[in-house]
């Protein structure tokens, strides 16, 4: 199966190297001919290259165009807010895609959840435009706001700015529609608070609505974000694809992870027009790192998303089916799912469940 693909692998730290090794066993068993280019980022990169996000790592991703990474701990006081945020900005990975679907044999409150969160990854309150309370910059901003529009902000207020642009929204909307068509999905639901924030969330909603002119078969609706949250908890099965600005997307993708059984199961992708970096939603889990008990399924399913992106559709579907088979059988599970198997036991069982 498969042709030749170059893929940059960043194992990460904490449980990253453990789940990365496990995912590699499964991916190599599903598709032949992947050439892995291993590069570092995070604490290991700092000790080896004096840089948390070395240029040679970015170069490798630019060259292979596709990467898969384990989680990375952001060292406190590093100067970066987060290596992950830096990576998304450097490579302009403007779309985060996080599917959450009910998995067989994983008991949850709701059955039949099968939804995808598409989150704008570069703007909104996460843009990093921060003014610390009492700083000269915050003081100057207060003066300017008073002068410009008569806004009075308290002297002891910290301020985070929420930029949402037409261009930034257009590309995520276009991406969402293309995603829905390519993946045979049906409905996009935009979440927003346009009534309270007409200039940012309202712009996001209006821009999305404009695009619906060439929507083809795709259904489109919108919902206030608070209402959407309540509906998600009550009847997640009614949703298909959620299209969200950055902050809401971050929060609701964890909520969706919770709906289907937890962080150890949810894959993700960060995608731009040129590059794509696949990674699980979870972090480096320092509390269980080094013990060989992390659940590798989120990383393995991230690998399946990567295979689909590479055009290896059969391989991707085979990996997803093998994960389902092993979960349904229930005998081999990591402790987060109530079992006592190791990370590598789970990976080997999944690899063994692939078609020969």
Q: List residues near ligand NAD by CB under 6 A.
A: 15, 19, 71-74, 84, 263-264, 279, 282-288, 294-295, 298, 336
90 contact partners, CB below 8 Å, separation of at least 6: 53, 58
The span from the CA of 102 to the CA of 39, in Å, is 33
CB of 85 to ligand NAD, least distance (A): 10
To the query of whether residue 193 is one of the catalytic residues in this protein, the response is yes
237-259 b/e (C-beta count within 10 Å ≥ 16 → b): eebbbbbbbbbbbbebbbebbeb
The span from the CA of 44 to the CA of 285, in Å, is 16
CB of 264 to ligand NAD, least distance (A): 3
CB of 299 to ligand NAD, least distance (A): 7
The span from the CA of 68 to the CA of 11, in Å, is 8
CB of 281 to ligand NAD, least distance (A): 7
206 contact partners, CB below 8 Å, separation of at least 6: none
Closest to ligand NAD by CB, 64 or 334? 334
Closest to ligand NAD by CB, 284 or 341? 284
Catalytic position from the list 193, 275, 345, 349? 193
Closest to ligand NAD by CB, 95 or 188? 95
Catalytic position from the list 126, 179, 248, 275? 126
CB of 150 to ligand NAD, least distance (A): 40
- Ranked by CB distance to ligand NAD, the top (closest) residue is 283
CB of 354 to ligand NAD, least distance (A): 21
Q: What's the number of CA atoms in the CB half-sphere (13 Å) around residue 34?
A: 25
The span from the CA of 87 to the CA of 235, in Å, is 35
Closest to ligand NAD by CB, 218 or 301? 301
What are 15's two structure tokens?
């449980």
Task: Say how many residues make up the chain.
Answer: 356
- SS3 (DSSP) at 180: helix
* CB distance 88 to 118 below 8 Å: no
CB of 69 to ligand NAD, least distance (A): 7
Tokens 């088979």: give the residue: 325
202 contact partners, CB below 8 Å, separation of at least 6: 192, 194
Catalytic position from the list 13, 250, 336, 345? 250
The span from the CA of 147 to the CA of 122, in Å, is 29
To the query of whether residue 69 is one of the catalytic residues in this protein, the response is no
The span from the CA of 242 to the CA of 261, in Å, is 19
Closest to ligand NAD by CB, 14 or 236? 14
The span from the CA of 177 to the CA of 218, in Å, is 7
Helix-then-strand count for the chain, H and E: 12, 12
Closest to ligand NAD by CB, 207 or 284? 284
Closest to ligand NAD by CB, 263 or 354? 263
Single out the residue of 278, 282, 277 nearest to residue 295, CA to CA: 282
List active site positions: 126, 193, 226, 250
């Amino acid at each position: 199966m498969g042709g030749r693909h170059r893929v940059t692998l960043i194992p990460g730290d904490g449980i990253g190297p453990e789940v990365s090794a496990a995912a590699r066993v499964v991916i190599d068993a599903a598709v032949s001919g992947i050439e892995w280019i291993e590069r570092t980022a995070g604490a290991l990169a700092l000790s080896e290259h004096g840089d948390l996000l070395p240029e040679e790592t970015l170069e490798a991703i630019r060259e292979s165009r596709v990467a898969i990474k384990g989680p990375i701990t952001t060292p406190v006081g590093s100067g970066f807010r987060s290596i992950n945020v830096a990576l998304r900005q450097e490579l302009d990975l403007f779309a985060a895609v996080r599917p959450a679907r009910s998995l067989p044999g994983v008991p949850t409150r709701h059955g039949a959840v099968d939804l995808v969160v598409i989150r704008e990854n570069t703007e909104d309150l996460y843009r990093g435009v921060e003014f610390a309370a009492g700083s000269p910059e915050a003081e100057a901003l207060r003066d300017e706001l008073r002068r410009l529009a008569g806004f009075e902000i308290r002297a002891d207020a910290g301020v985070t700015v929420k930029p949402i642009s037409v261009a930034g929204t257009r590309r995520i909307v276009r991406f969402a529609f293309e995603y829905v068509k390519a993946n045979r999905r049906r409905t996009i639901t935009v979440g927003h608070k346009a009534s309270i924030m007409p200039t940012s969330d309202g712009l996001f909603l209006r821009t999305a609505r404009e695009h619906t002119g060439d929507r083809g078969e795709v259904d489109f609706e919108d919902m206030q974000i608070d209402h959407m949250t309540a509906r998600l908890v009550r009847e997640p099965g009614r949703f298909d694809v959620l299209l969200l600005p950055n902050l809401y997307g971050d929060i609701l993708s964890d909520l969706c992870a919770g709906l289907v059984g937890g962080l150890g199961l949810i894959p993700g992708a960060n995608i731009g027009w040129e590059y794509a970096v696949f990674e699980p939603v979870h972090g480096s889990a320092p509390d269980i790192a080094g013990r060989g008990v992390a659940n590798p399924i989120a990383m393995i399913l991230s690998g399946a998303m990567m295979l689909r992106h590479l055009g290896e559709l059969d391989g991707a579907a085979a990996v997803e089916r093998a994960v389902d088979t092993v979960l349904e059988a229930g005998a081999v599970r990591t402790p987060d799912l109530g079992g006592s198997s190791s990370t590598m036991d789970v990976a080997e069982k999944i690899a063994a469940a692939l078609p020969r």
